[in-house]
Amino acid sequence: MNAPPRASQGLSVLHPEVTSRNVELRNELLSNCGAGVSNILDSVFSTMMSQNTTDKNAHAAFANLKAAHPTWGTVMTAPPSDIAGLIKCAGLSDIRTERMQMILATLSSEQGDTDEPSMEYLREMDNDAVKKELSRFKGIGPKTISCVLLFSMGRGEFPVDTHVLRIAKSCGWVTSSATRESAYTVLNGLVPDEIKMDLHCLLVRHGKVCHKCAANNKPQFPPEDGPLVCPLRRCKSVVSVKRENEATKTTTKMTTTKKQKKAKNVSQKVKVKAEVKVKAEEKVKVEAIRAAKAAGAVVKEEPDLP
């Protein structure tokens, strides 16, 4: 078993509430024949609401909004100040309101000026098409898209947030210089589809409670009974070391090629210089012969070599 499945197994013992919640979510997805557990717009806006704020404030803001506006059509037409007031606790309420209303207005106009804009059409698309479609809206970034694909559409996606990136680096699953984007590509290839949802949720949870894995070793929610026994020390991977070696090999190869190119350039320059010198010598010789001929001397010219 490679490192990510081992990590998922170890963390699910430590945080069983996370995996049991996911079992419910998966069952719901299956009972809907993959049709998704929630309206995609709900999923998009609730994920957008969670950016740059705490989970608690994001949930409260989203709950306020849904209580006042059960459908997205009325969010689209309501005065912006009303919407901003409802989601104030999440912060950045004016920007969030503007982006939500812009997305809704765009969808509405594209869908024949409907009062009930929808994103359910995404369910017919493959992952790449969904990514392309959602990326055109301001405020919907790669992490939001990945979350929507995973949680609302049940696709094999592994979103990379700050906790996932930090822990993946410390476990050696990605290199220490990996960005969120590069880690997303590497981890989506490394983590088997069947554990993507669990491992993502477990790492997010674990990153908030484990002293060893939290940012600056200061967990957001330190356990009352003291630090946890972290199971991730057994889940270090040599994958990144291998990858780094491969990267070094590539760099060496590139350096060698560069050296070869440089040597080739130098030898060409030397060749050109030599040719110039020979031509100059020939010119001098020809001029000397011409001068001698003009002076009436008999000059025997060397025949050209075959």
Run of H or E including 194: helix 193-209
Residue with the two structure tokens 């020979």: 278
Q: Which stretch binds Zn ion (CB under 5 A): 62-70, 85-93, 105-113, 207-215?
A: 207-215
Catalytic residue, from 66, 131, 132, 143: name it.
Answer: 143
How far apart are CB 12 and Zn ion at their closest, in Å?
13
Task: Out of 86, 210, 235, 239, name the contact with Zn ion by CB under 5 A.
Answer: 210
Measured CA to CA in angstroms, residue 246 lies from 54, 107, 181, 242, 243 at distances of: 39, 46, 20, 6, 5
**Positions 227 through 256 that interact with Zn ion (CB under 5 A):** 230, 232
As measured in angstroms, the least distance from the Cβ of 170 to Zn ion is 9
Q: Which residue number, 122 or 232, has a Cβ lying nearer to Zn ion?
A: 232
Q: Which of 131, 212, 236, 243 binds Zn ion (CB under 5 A)?
A: 212
Evaluate whether 40 touches 123 at the Cβ level (below 8 Å). yes
* Phi/psi-derived region of residue 57, left when phi > 0, alpha when psi is between -120 and 50, beta in every other case: alpha
| Cβ pair 187, 193 in contact under 8 A | no
Nearer to Zn ion by Cβ, of 180 and 208: the residue is 208
Q: Indicate the SS3 state at residue 62.
A: helix
Active site residue 56: no
Nearest approach, Cβ of residue 10 and Zn ion (Å)? 9
Q: What minimum distance in Å lies between the beta carbon of 203 and Zn ion?
A: 9
C-alpha triplet 236, 13, 183: angle, nearest 5°: 40
Catalytic residues: 143
Q: Which residues bind Zn ion (CB under 5 A)?
A: 210, 212-213, 230, 232
